Amino acid sequence: MASAALLGGHERKHKVTVVGSGNWGSTISKIVAENTRANNTIFEEDVQMWVYEEEVTIPKDSKFYDETVGDKPQKLTSIINKYHENVKYLPGITLPSNVIANPSLRDAVKDSTILVFNLPHQFINNACKEIRGHILPYARGISCVKGVNVSDEGISLFSEWIGDGLGIYCGALSGANIATEIANEKWSETTIAYDPPPMDNSRAPTPRSSSPNISITSLAEAGHRDARGRASKTKLTPVPAEYPPLDHDCFRVLFHRPYFHVQMVSDVAGVSLGGALKNIVALAAGFVDGRGWGDNAKAAIMRIGLMEMVKFGKEFFGETVQTATFTESSAGVADLITSCSGGRNFRCARKAVEKGMTVQEVEHEDLNGQMLQGTSTAYEVNSFLKKRGLESNYPLFTAVNGILRGERTVDEIPSLV
């Protein structure tokens, strides 16, 4: 367990911003704000939460529905700051009063040393463009985004994309974390992967297998190694000594709650890939469940899906990915199980099959603006595999892509995998 006392006694405190305010973004803001308040010698109490501004009508069944206002739309940031509830994306949950909803992204990230990225992956690119050059050069990031970024150059993790785009180091948080359960303070676990260059780790430098015996100074000068163990082109600015060190202890204090148990690891690629790829498998689980095939079929999907996840990680993210991250951590098998039991990707895919709709139609009809990540991840992973002639090596991922595109049917799954 981290010792908050160990982190105290510094001249400056860390300021935290959560970039995003959806179902998970609001939940993580709640967790973080509870911890900044409880550890106000380390962190500034107020947590900025960037909200993509929209006009929202408070639902009639909300306790904040006001007859005098009626159905007149109001700014979501004003509602959150007045009632301390995100009535659209996390209804019924009180946010701590030190969560400050901010519609200006640049203003929200100003002077923050810790940036927690928690947006649907479709919006990360624009958010990074908007804040590049407007953040502290020595800020550090944690990506809670579940997805991968596919471009002509290949595939990258959002932690890499954010880190390289902003010139900072970025780790990843992922786990069996259905947001609403955690917002209701039902116990769960999560995994945070954070493997910063040794220059940040003033107490206990983590030796890296790929870079033994390299001194702290030479790493700081030469850049650092990325999640795949490659030399990174990003030249990092060290966190000034006036701040508590930004390391595993610090992040554990920031995220750990009695109802949200944190395991700190160093495998950023494994943690990020677990969160992204399980969404493809969850769609497949929804397809077979919607077809009425029962628990055995769903277990088969999870087994095959887990094998493809590990294979993908090993094949494309090199030696740094550890099989144990997939098979033992919350970010691996546990997230796979919870997502295939009650996640949004699973539920929308199941209903799509039951009702003869597309997954996208169910998403628009049922999710009130929340967004699935599995559909775009399935397309992106497929385009990456197809370009390399490797579709047949990943039959489940390929089948999900085919079903989403209407080129395959659910009934074909047993013969395809």
Ligand X SMILES: NC(=O)C1=CN([C@@H]2O[C@H](COP(=O)(O)OP(=O)(O)OC[C@H]3O[C@@H](n4cnc5c(N)ncnc54)[C@H](O)[C@@H]3O)[C@@H](O)[C@H]2O)C=CC1
Residue type, 258: P
Kindly write down the DSSP assignment for every residue of 211-235, as one continuous string.
STT--HHHHHHH--B-TTSPBPSPP
From the CB of 394, what's the least distance to ligand 13P, in Å?
Answer: 20
Query: Among residues 147, 165, 270, 305, which is the contact residue for ligand X, using CB under 6 A?
Result: 147
Q: Which of 312, 314, 319, 316 is nearest to 210 (CA)?
A: 319
Residues 6+ apart with CB under 8 A from 329: 175, 191, 263, 265, 270, 271, 274
Distance, CA of 115 to CA of 166 (rounded, Å) = 11
The reply, when asked if residue 230 is annotated as ligand binding, is no
Binding to ligand X by residue 370, rule CB under 6 A? yes
| Count of residues in the chain | 417
> Which range in 174-182, 232-240, 315-323, 406-414 contacts ligand X by CB under 6 A?
174-182
Determine whether the annotation assigns residue 22 to a binding site: yes
Which residue type sits at 293? Answer: W
In the complex, the smallest distance separating the C-beta of residue 371 from ligand 13P, rounded to whole angstroms, is 8
The one of ligand X, ligand 13P, none whose footprint includes residue 335, by CB under 5 to 8 A per kind, is ligand 13P
> CA-CA distance, 76 to 85, in Å (whole number)?
10
21 binds ligand X (CB under 6 A): yes
Nearest-approach distance from CB 301 to ligand 13P, in angstroms? 14
In sequence order, what are the residues at sequence separation of 6 or more whose Cβ sits closer than 8 angstroms to the Cβ of residue 45? 33, 36, 37, 98
Q: Which position among 13, 30, 278, 298 bears the catalytic label?
A: 278
178 is a site residue for ligand X (CB under 6 A): yes
Q: Given its phi and psi angles, is residue 67 left (phi above 0), alpha (psi -120 to 50 degrees) or beta?
A: alpha
Q: Which helix (H) or strand (E) holds 263?
A: strand 260-265
Q: Can residue 95 be called a binding residue for ligand X (CB under 6 A)? A: no
Selection from ligand X, ligand 13P, none that 176 binds (CB < 5 to 8 A by kind) is: ligand 13P
Which residue type is seen at 59?
Answer: P
Whether residue 9 is annotated as binding a ligand: the answer is no
414/288 Cα distance (integer angstroms):
10
Contact indicator for 90, 142 with CB cutoff of 8 Å: no
Closest contact distance (angstroms) between CB of 104 and ligand 13P is 27
Residue ranges in 32-61 that form contacts with ligand X under rule CB under 6 A = 52
Minimum distance, C-beta of residue 269 to ligand 13P, in the bound complex (Å) = 18
Asked whether residue 331 is marked as a ligand-binding residue, the answer is no
* Interface with ligand X, residue 120, by CB under 6 A: yes
- What beta strand segments (E) does 4-110 contain? 14-19, 43-50, 55-56, 74-75, 99-102
Q: Tell me the one-letter amino acid at 89.
A: Y
The answer to whether 285 is a known ligand-binding residue is no
Pairing of strands 43-50, 99-102: parallel
User: What is the Cα 237 distance to its own chain's centre?
Assistant: 24
Which residue, 127 or 265, is less far from ligand X as judged by CB?
Answer: 127
Check if 278 is active-site: yes
- Please, what is the end-to-end C-alpha distance for the chain in angstroms? 43
Among positions 14, 146, 256, 351, the unique one binding ligand 13P when judged by CB under 6 A: 146
Binding residue for ligand X, selected from 371, 391, 393, 409, defined by CB under 6 A: 371
329 binds ligand X (CB under 6 A): no
Is 179 assigned a ligand-binding role in the annotation? yes
Q: How far apart are CA 143 and CA 24, in angstroms?
A: 12
Instruction: Identify which range of 76-84, 176-184, 248-256, 315-323 contacts ligand 13P by CB under 6 A.
Output: 176-184
Binder to ligand 13P among 178, 281, 340, 381 (CB under 6 A)?
178
Helix (H) or strand (E) holding 155: strand 154-157
Site string for ligand X, 372-391 (x = CB under 6 A): -x------------------
Among 348, 337, 350, which residue's Cα sits nearest to residue 301? 337
- Residues within window 328-367 making contact with ligand 13P, judged by CB under 6 A: 335, 338-339, 343-345
Residue type, 50: W
2/119 with CB nearer ligand X? 119
Residue 393 carries which DSSP code? G
Number of residue whose CB is nearest ligand X: 22
Find, among 326, 329, 267, the residue nearest to 302 by Cα.
326
229 marked as binding residue: no
Binding site for ligand X (CB under 6 A): 20-25, 52, 89, 118-121, 123, 144-147, 177-179, 369-371, 373
Task: Please give the annotated binding residues for substrate, written as ranges.
Answer: 146, 344-345
Residues designated catalytic:
278
Binding site for ligand 13P (CB under 6 A): 146, 176-178, 279, 282, 335, 338-339, 343-345, 373
Task: Please give the annotated binding residues, written as ranges.
Answer: 20-25, 123, 146, 179, 344-345, 373
